[in-house]
Chain A
Amino acid sequence: MKRLMLITLIIVITIGVFSLYSWGADLKIAMLLPGPISDQGWNMMAHNALKAAEKEFSAEIAYTERTPVSDFEEIFRGYAQAGFNIIMGHGFQFGDVAKKVAQEFPKTIFIVSSSDISQAPNLASFRTMDAQAGFIQGVVAALLTETNKVAYIGGMEIPPTINQNRGFRAGVKYINPSIEVISTFTGSFYDVAKAKEMAKAMAQKGVDIIVPDADVANLGVVEAAEEEDIKIIGCSTDMAEVSPDITITSLLEDFSKAFTTVVDYVLEGKFESRAYEMGVQEGALDLAPFRKYEEKVSKEDMAKINQVLDDLKSGKIDIAKYLED
């Protein structure tokens, strides 16, 4: 028992010593990420945005990757207590907890990406219009398919992938209702091998264009495309950098721009606790150059694609009308 007390004493002294230590800086931005920053997709995108903000606003940055659901609240609170001014949860799933913690720290700005929640005075959300992104991909796929079979491979069935898929189906039907659209979900953003097998199975079914929207697992679709007769239309980042031969184009999601725009609002005092939505109008979504496929797309098709982009920008096309339930 004596020894136990001795140990307790040592611990108490240690606490005392280390409690003297503390932090301090100006603009401090933190992010909670659901997965690893090296995923070539969703989390890397946010990590890049964080890096961009670090450069642009000379902010101090920090992030937590692979955040377990059970730790959301603790980590939000931890960053807030450590004096971070802007804290972002990367994904709708952070919404509930952000609402709760935001009330305790009214001076800290809380942001949730890929969500539509808000709470006065300090919680906002922003998202790129996933359905719009999918719609544009659908238009491109429908114009360029030769077999009249196109496909979407999502990771887990969550709002961003569900909406992207709905948009994709709508985009295809907008051009040609007789094209067959196959939609699947691998159930995981990590299982590369499964995504590859799925893409191969699609190739055997005659699909010639796939939209891979499964984060890390997209790499599996890329490998399948390199082996089979499939082309892909990338999501979020320019997949031509990964595999130029099979990438027709990519739907670029300028997450950094969307994020720094919100940070800018905060710095200029224009921040409102609302749901910011960003699409082609705001420059948060755009089509990547067609690169190797520039020549292979006919003038009429290219004109049609640009027409759709313009109509989306001007609001002439209302995607909601084309979405299936």
Chain B
Amino acid sequence: MIVSDFITHFIAADLRTATPILFAALGELYMERSGIINIGLEGFMLIGALTGSISSYFFNSALLGVIMAALVSGVLGLIYAFFVVTIKANQVATGIAINIFSLGLTTTIYRAFMGVNTSHPNIASFKNISIPLLSKIPIFGQSIFNQTALVYLALMLVPFTYYFLYKTSIGLKIRAAGEYPQATDTAGVNVFQIRYGAIIGGSMLVGVGGAYLSLGLLNMFTENMVAGRGFIALAAVIFGKWNPWGVLGAALFFGFGDALAIRLQVMGSSIPYQFLLMLPYIFTVAVLAGVVGKAFSPTALGIPYNKE
């Protein structure tokens, strides 16, 4: 096999595995920046994956599948926001409850719709789109510019998020709500509204990340298919130091690790797979310990805001 082919395939695999993590991590980024830590990502992604799959099946359109996934996740986000913002329920416990609840709900609904024994039906899914000219670039063309639309969307969301958070007034308010909610409130900004908005918008992105799993990366829904990616996304936010570009780097890095781990195994490496799976978590802890420069979480992260 030619080396350039290997690299092409490798980069393509990296992008594919990084995309669901990137969506979820960007969604979480909005929430964390506003001061909310949502550890229910796993549940949000499952709901997104199921909604995407079922909607695409009924409307016979993958695009509608993703839109529905975003909407339903947004509604779930609204409920989550009511809990953690309005009635100030503990964010961690609510997240855990959502994870348990979603696993049960998606399994039940999926079985009700699709049955237990039938083989998986044909569902409209996203096909690779080759971008003219750019896809002709040697090595990188076929790996980066021949992907599904959702991959491009995820990549485009990175500069958008950066612009939104750092260059717009709403972005400033979101960041302020996560750092100094008291002062922000005094300055006349409604911290509750800002957090509601960040949670709902963020949840929609997380849901799309789930839908990418069932409509882009794969072409089906299976029970518990998120398989820990929600927690990896959580790690990616920190590894990316709460910055969209950093988050992109983290998602690609974890995707790289995944793609590398798989290839190492295929090549017959004898490193136990558990150690390879541990790497993202170890890296994240290392980042927090300042091994690669200091990272600071938003000051008010995880603390409900009380108007006094």
Interface residues of A (CB under 8 A from B): 36-40, 44, 47-48, 151, 182, 184-185, 187-188, 190-194, 196-198, 200-202, 204-206, 216, 219-220, 223, 241-242
Indicate which residue in B110, B116, B274 contacts A187 across the interface (CB closer than 8 Å).
B274
B1, B213, B223, B268: most-surrounded residue (chain A CB, <10 A)? B223
Interface segment, one of B9-17, B59-67, B243-251: B9-17
Give the complex CA separation of A38 and B267 in angstroms.
32
Instruction: Tell whether, in the assembled complex, residue B266 and residue A219 are in contact, meaning their CB atoms are under 8 Å apart.
Output: no
The reply to whether the CB of B169 lies closer than 8 angstroms to some CB of chain A is no
Chain B positions 236 through 272: 1 when the CB is less than 8 Å from some CB of chain A, otherwise 0 = 0000000000000000000000110011011110000
14 additional contacts, CB 8 Å, given A38-B111, A204-B1?
A36-B107, A38-B110, A40-B120, A44-B117, A151-B266, A185-B273, A188-B227, A190-B227, A197-B13, A197-B16, A197-B258, A200-B9, A206-B1, A219-B220
Q: Which chain A residues lie closer than 8 Å to B263 at the CB level? A: 201
Q: Can you report 25 A-B residue pairs in the complex whose CB atoms are below 8 A from each other?
A: A37-B116, A38-B111, A47-B116, A182-B266, A185-B273, A187-B273, A187-B274, A190-B222, A190-B225, A192-B222, A193-B213, A194-B227, A194-B258, A194-B262, A196-B217, A197-B259, A197-B262, A198-B265, A201-B9, A206-B1, A216-B223, A219-B120, A219-B222, A223-B218, A242-B119
Instruction: Choose among A184, A200, A219, A241 the residue that contacts B13 (Cβ–Cβ < 8 A).
Output: A200
B128: shortest Cβ distance to chain A, in Å?
10
B161 CB within 8 Å of chain A: no
| Shortest CB distance B112–A (Å) | 11
Alpha-carbon separation in the docked complex, A47 to B117 (Å): 10
A222 smallest CB distance to B (angstroms): 9
Complex Cα–Cα for A136 and B61 (A): 42
Q: A residues within 8 A CB of B119?
A: 40, 241-242
| Cβ distance B228 to chain A, nearest Cβ, rounded Å | 8
A154 smallest CB distance to B (angstroms): 11
Q: How far is the CA of A56 from the CA of B223 in the complex (A)?
A: 30
List chain B residues, Cβ under 8 A from A194. Answer: 227, 258, 262
Name the distance in Å between A90's Cβ and chain B's nearest Cβ. 16
Question: Of B111, B116, B225, which one neighbours A192 at CB under 8 angstroms?
Answer: B225
Query: Which residue of chain A has its CB nearest to the CB of B114?
Result: A38
Please determine whether B268 and A182 come into contact, CB atoms closer than 8 angstroms: yes
Q: Give the complex CA separation of A21 and B96 in angstroms.
A: 35
The residue from B117, B120, B223, B277 contacting A36, defined by CB atoms under 8 A apart: B223
Q: Is B219 part of the binding interface, using a Cβ–Cβ cutoff of 8 Å?
A: yes
Q: How many residues of B contact A (CB 8 A)?
A: 35
Q: Among B5, B111, B266, which residue has its beta carbon within 8 angstroms of that of A202? A: B266
- Which residues on A sit within 8 Å (CB–CB) of B227? 188, 190-191, 193-194
A191, A200, A201: residue with the most chain B Cβ atoms closer than 10 Å = A201
A223–B110 Cα distance when bound, in Å, is 20
- Given the complex, which residues of A lie within 8 Å of B116, measured CB to CB? 37-38, 44, 47
Q: Give a binary string over B265-292; 1 marks a CB under 8 Å from any A CB, 0 the rest.
A: 1111000011001000000000000000
Please give me the 4 A-B residue pairs with the lowest Cβ-Cβ distance, nearest first.
Answer: A38-B116, A184-B265, A191-B227, A187-B273
Q: Is the CB of A204 within 8 A of B6?
A: yes
Bound-state CA distance A194–B116 (Å) is 23
Closest residue on chain B to residue A156 by CB atoms: B273
Compute how far the CA of A44 lies from the CA of B227 in the bound complex, rounded to whole angstroms.
Answer: 20
- Which residue of chain B is the closest to A36 with respect to CB atoms? B223
If A44-B117, A198-B262 touch, does A204 touch B5 (CB 8 Å cutoff)?
yes
Which residues of B are found within 8 Å of A151, using beta-carbon distances? 266
Cβ–Cβ contact B1 & A205, under 8 A = yes
Interface status of B224 (Cβ within 8 A of chain A): yes
A56–B273 CA distance with the chains assembled, in angstroms = 44
- Chain A residues, Cβ within 8 Å of B225: 190, 192-193
A146 to chain B, nearest CB (A): 16
CB neighbours of B213 from chain A (8 A) = 193
Within residues 198 to 230 of chain B, which ones have a CB less than 8 A from any CB in chain A? Answer: 213, 217-220, 222-225, 227
**CB of B10, distance to nearest CB on chain A (Å):** 9
Contact, CB under 8 Å: A193 / B268: no
How many Å lie between the Cα of A205 and that of B16 in the bound state?
19
Separation in Å of the A48 CB from the closest CB of chain B?
Answer: 8
Residue of B with least CB distance to A187: B273
Q: How far is the CB of A159 from chain B (nearest CB, A)?
A: 18
Determine the distance from Cα of A202 to Cα of B107 in the docked complex, in whole angstroms.
Answer: 31
B9 and A204 form a contact (CB under 8 A): yes
Q: Is the CB of B1 within 8 A of A193?
A: no
User: Smallest CB–CB gap between B300 and chain A, Å?
Assistant: 35
**Nearest Cβ distance between residue B117 and chain A, in whole angstroms?**
7
Residues of B within 8 A of A48 (CB): 117
Q: Which listed residue (B266, B268, B277) contacts A201, Cβ 8 A? A: B266
What are the residues of chain A within 8 A of B220 when measuring CB–CB?
192, 219
- Alpha-carbon gap, A37 to B119, bound state (A): 13
Pairwise interchain contact B219-A198, C-beta atoms closer than 8 A = no
B110, B217, B277: the one within 8 Å of A193 (CB)? B217
Alpha-carbon distance between A79 and B243 when the two chains are bound, in angstroms: 54
Q: Which of B88-119 contact A (CB under 8 A)?
A: 107, 110-111, 116-117, 119
Chain A residues whose C-beta falls within 8 Å of the C-beta of B258 in the assembled complex: 194, 197
B124 CB to closest chain A CB, in angstroms? 15
